[in-house]
Structure 1
Amino acid sequence: MNLGFGLSRRRTTTDDAGAIERAALRSDRFRIEREADWQRLETIVRALEKGRLRKVSDEDLLALPGLYRTVASSLSVARETSLDAATLAYLEALVQRAWFVVYGPRTSLWDWLRGFFTGGWSAAVRSIAPDIAVAFAVMVAGTIAGWLLVSHDPEWYFALVGKDMAGVRVPGASAKDLHGTLFGNDGQNAMSVFAAQLFSNNAQVSILSFALGFAFGVPSLLLLVQNLALLGAMLWLYHGAGLTLDFAGWIAVHGTTELYAIMLSGAAGLHIGRALAFPGQRPVLQAAAEAGQRSAVVMTGVVMMLVLAALLEGFARQLVDTTPGRFAIGGFMLALWCSYFFAFRGTRRWREANAHRSVPKGTSR
């Protein structure tokens, strides 16, 4: 029994050694057959990673996509046949590096930001100008609707503003109490809470207005009406106390940025909905994809505008305690946004680099 067990163990050891040797031979043969393509791809990728594009021949550039697919196929085969770990690690690293060269972003984050602020954002906003006009009209209508509702029945005020957000700003409040919420240090803490609630509400409206645009833009417009009806109700309240200009100045500090952002987000959602409802000669999915790309650029800027509005709301309005000063800040921000979006046309370099995006497929420039 002991002799048999020894022979069996020696036979097993011999078989294992043979299996390892066969695996090594198979791995070596696999590497030798394909190593030339691997090395060529690695040389091209290394040169491109170091920014040495001029040192890469036209022939290698044309061969790059094919080499990438060949090496990716080699990696797939290596995984299925369980080749040695070193070969697998090498191929995985090479395929990952080659993917970023072939399919990865062509510009750095800094270059993207520079292009975004020097033409990309303003061009995207101008491309949805009809939707912005509709959103602006809807916001004005919502403000008027809120004013008219509460003027006919003050109970509507609590339906629009809510008791938690209203605080001391309720129908019947004295002019002194309302004035105290706008100026001085006594009402600043309570007003800061109200401002934070207002900002949170406006941020949610902005995001939802864009996100619900797929429903043909109808929810986006309804959200604009609802949100601006709140502003109309507040205007009615302060107007009754003779504080219309003071309240408008209080709102203007951050409102010209925040309300502008809400308008753009509603317009972005409406733009997507309009593309779905009226795709024209394009397939619906293509029209929606193109509208989504433009709207996404607009919404990237909207997020930045909301952050800036929060800073103005938290600092500028507290430091400037006069109505003319607040109007000056709000007016400056409004002029800045209008001039940037509709007067600034971007750098020549950006326009030339992106001119092809405005040309429909199948047409010539």
Structure 2
Amino acid sequence: MRPLLASEGDPTATARRFREAHEGDWRRLDAILTVAERRSLKALDEEELMALPVLYRQALSSLSVARETSLDRALVDYLESLCARAYFYLYGVRTPALQRLRQFFLHDWSAAVRAVWPETLVALLLSIAGFIAAYVLITHDSTWFFSIIPQDLAAGRDPTASATQLKETLYGAGDEDGLSIFATFLFTHNAQVAIFAFALGFAFGVPSSLLLVYNGCMMGAFFALFVPHGLGEELGGWLAIHGTTEMLAIILAGAAGLRIGRTVAFPGARTRLRAAAEAGRASATVMAGVVVMLMVAGLLEGIGRQRIDNDAIRYAIGGAALLLWLLYFYWPRRAPHG
């Protein structure tokens, strides 16, 4: 390694001499990194691989001198970028995208879901509590229905509707456009609940809890409307095709938000900010999977909503989907090696 020049005399001349003395090494490092970035480290020969750490240390030394002697800003920026690129290849872990995706579906997602099982149980209980509360209130006083269900979502599905009108909303005999709008609105609402239940978890989990209760209330309100007309079983089948996946996604999103909220409230020996960051990274894995589940629910809803009118088939599809999700998340498996 050539000795670094001291910053003496005219700063411009010093910068020029400094660049002339070391630019060859920088350019060589840049060329090696460019080959690695465009192809891979395997494209480098043995000499280039051996030179990479040496050139990296030289570039770090040059960067240190450039900063201390206040050389031109452009040179400092160039050296910082060069050193960062070299650091990534020397110390960073490069995992192919397909391998990362495989790792996510085979291990990371299910492991993250299992890690939040206490919060998942709480989210489930909150949803059930909301369901029961709304069902009891509306069966005793139907006016509560309008306090829980927005008018645009109800769209005629309210206590004034007859059994025949309500049944038409569950099968193909009804208005196809109206059914499509209702189903789309319901799916959009559930997706928003899932996202906000996760995103608002930092507020000690309170907004997430309220959203889970409210979503349970909405389900309870619809059952309180259909059951007295003898249509509870039919409503359950209509919802089951996509609802088992959709509701589980909401519960998991709420659980992820509750984990963040619990960690913020009780950070332990860590700082609250660090604890929240760690919980956020783990919960984000759960939420990434929730997005996949909502996509699957959308496909199931689009395919089966009105094309399948048989209640037994509807329940079979919904039950099979739920069973597969539970097996995927909670079936014991070996941890990956390495």
TM-score, normalising length: structure 2: 0.84
2:337 to 340, 344, 352: 352
Distance, in Å, in 1 between the alignment partners of 2:309 and 2:165 is: 16
Q: 1:95-110 residue pairs with structure 2 within 5 A?
A: 95=83, 97-98=85-86, 100-101=88-89, 106-110=94-98
Distance, in Å, in 1 between the alignment partners of 2:73 and 2:145 is: 71
1:46 Cα deviation (Å)? 5.2
1:163 Cα deviation (Å)? 1.6
* Partner of residue 231, structure 1: 219
CA 1:111–1:73: 2 relative to 1, 3 Å = farther
- 1:194 pairs with 2:179: no
Distance, in Å, in 1 between the alignment partners of 2:78 and 2:73 is: 14
Q: 1:125-136 residue pairs with structure 2 within 5 A?
A: 125-136=113-124
1:94 Cα deviation (Å)? 3.9
* Partner of residue 125, structure 2: 137
SS in 2 for 1:182: coil
Distance, in Å, in 1 between the alignment partners of 2:218 and 2:174 is: 24
> Which structure 1 residue ranges, 5 or more long, are not aligned?
1-21, 354-365
SS in 2 for 1:352: coil
- 1:247 pairs with 2:239: no
Distance, in Å, in 1 between the alignment partners of 2:190 and 2:149 is: 13
- 1:342 pairs with 2:330: yes
SS in 1 for 2:337: helix
- 1:112 pairs with 2:100: yes
CA offsets, 1:202-244, max 9 Å, x none? Answer: 1111111111111111111111001110110101111011111
Contact 2:67/2:76 (<8 A) preserved: no
CA offsets, 1:297-329, max 9 Å, x none? Answer: 111111111122112112222221211111111
1:81 Cα deviation (Å)? 2.9
Contact 1:122/1:344 (<8 A) preserved: no
- 1:51 pairs with 2:36: no
1:333 Cα deviation (Å)? 1.0
Contact 1:122/1:345 (<8 A) preserved: no
CA 1:183–1:102: 2 relative to 1, 3 Å = same
* Partner of residue 3, structure 2: none
Aligned residues: 326
1:93 Cα deviation (Å)? 7.0
* Partner of residue 294, structure 2: 306
* Partner of residue 69, structure 1: 60
1:81 to 42, 67, 72: 72
1:174 to 162, 165, 170: 162
* Partner of residue 5, structure 2: none
- Cα RMSD for the two superposed structures: 3.2
1:41 to 29, 34, 38: 29
Distance, in Å, in 2 between the alignment partners of 1:267 and 1:154 is: 31
CA 1:278–1:240: 2 relative to 1, 3 Å = same
Distance, in Å, in 2 between the alignment partners of 1:128 and 1:64 is: 46
CA 1:300–1:63: 2 relative to 1, 3 Å = farther
1:181 Cα deviation (Å)? 0.6
TM-score, normalising length: structure 1: 0.79
Distance, in Å, in 1 between the alignment partners of 2:135 and 2:54 is: 67
Contact 2:201/2:207 (<8 A) preserved: yes
2:265 to 256, 271, 277: 277
Distance, in Å, in 2 between the alignment partners of 1:65 and 1:284 is: 37
Distance, in Å, in 1 between the alignment partners of 2:276 and 2:251 is: 20
Contact 2:208/2:257 (<8 A) preserved: yes
1:179 Cα deviation (Å)? 0.8
Distance, in Å, in 2 between the alignment partners of 1:95 and 1:62 is: 11
Q: 1:197-216 residue pairs with structure 2 within 5 A?
A: 197-216=185-204
Q: What is the identity percentage for the equivalent residue pairs of Structure 1 and Structure 2?
A: 45
CA offsets, 1:61-111, max 9 Å, x none? Answer: 76576455346557769995378xxx8997687456436535766223222
Q: Mark the structure with the bigger radius of gyration.
A: 1
Amino acid at match of 2:125: A
Instruction: Report the more deviating stretch, 204-213 or 279-288.
Output: 279-288
Contact 1:123/1:345 (<8 A) preserved: no
CA 1:343–1:72: 2 relative to 1, 3 Å = farther
Amino acid at match of 2:280: G
1:35 Cα deviation (Å)? 3.2
* Partner of residue 147, structure 2: 159
Amino acid at match of 2:72: T
1:344 Cα deviation (Å)? 5.5
Contact 2:29/2:56 (<8 A) preserved: no
1:247 Cα deviation (Å)? 0.4
SS in 1 for 2:295: helix
Distance, in Å, in 1 between the alignment partners of 2:77 and 2:156 is: 67
Amino acid at match of 2:204: F
Q: 1:290-305 residue pairs with structure 2 within 5 A?
A: 290-305=278-293
CA 1:78–1:234: 2 relative to 1, 3 Å = farther
